Structure 1
């Protein structure tokens, strides 16, 4: 609910707002969401799409690392012995950002799949990232190149043919798990749907009707 976060990183704010119940949101922390390193965590795809950086500290000193590559497996990270996560840095980028997820219940559900988009109008670049699409938060250079090429940067419109290409690339690239909640085939299909939905919203200026 912090206005500064909502203004600088609206995709992150939207993902945080979708976390559990108000009680959970009052008690949960950004750092806990990150270091738990579970594939369904809401904030991880947004941080990946934003090129977030993490500050890790221990008695021996401090180091800054990219979030990309920080999660190495479900529940495992590159935290060293005695290290704690003390700060997260995300860039304030111009352009559309959003986060969406699919699950069993509206407000308090764990994400069956999730996706985030960051449209950087200054760099003319689109980044998409996904949750529960692989053992770790997932993005693809090939998907991002196709998403970037789908945008008419002069008008902000997103070409329908480009959206369709991205949807198919996502479905080919992801390696989602199968469990008691959903099959891998369902997740693969749904991840494509979310990617298309985010790009259509971006082209419509952020309308939820897209």
Structure 2
């Protein structure tokens, strides 16, 4: 059975409010737990930049799935650690082949990649990045499937307009229209979020 302590209860209460999309509670939860969770990610991936990305992705999941947490099944930290652990394992599987080439790039020429990784990143910067990524994902989810898929192919997979059309088996003009309308809707949604929430990373 989960251990009932004041610290656990505070995290339970924060998760309940995060489930209601309370940004202030989300920031408090992040400030209280991100240091420990960052250490968990580091133990798996051993690279600061990967641990940063895993932490951001994990807190996006927390924001989206906080309503699924059950205090009767596990403590908040156990639940949070399991998210970070799963994200870390997924990342290790995806980057297994790419890791050697990435390491070679990090030490290329000036060695700037290593120098930049010496200091621990500012938690507030990580929180802002995680929030921004969540807002982008939310806006993407509001697009029509063809628009979302065409944008993903063009901007995440690097396909040209003609390649997107070929992949989706539609005329080139249709693919271009999906991309154009998708970008317009994405920009409007993202701009609306920015104006509503104010500067990133503020309570």
Higher relative helix content: 2
The structure that has the greater radius of gyration is 2
Higher relative strand content: 1
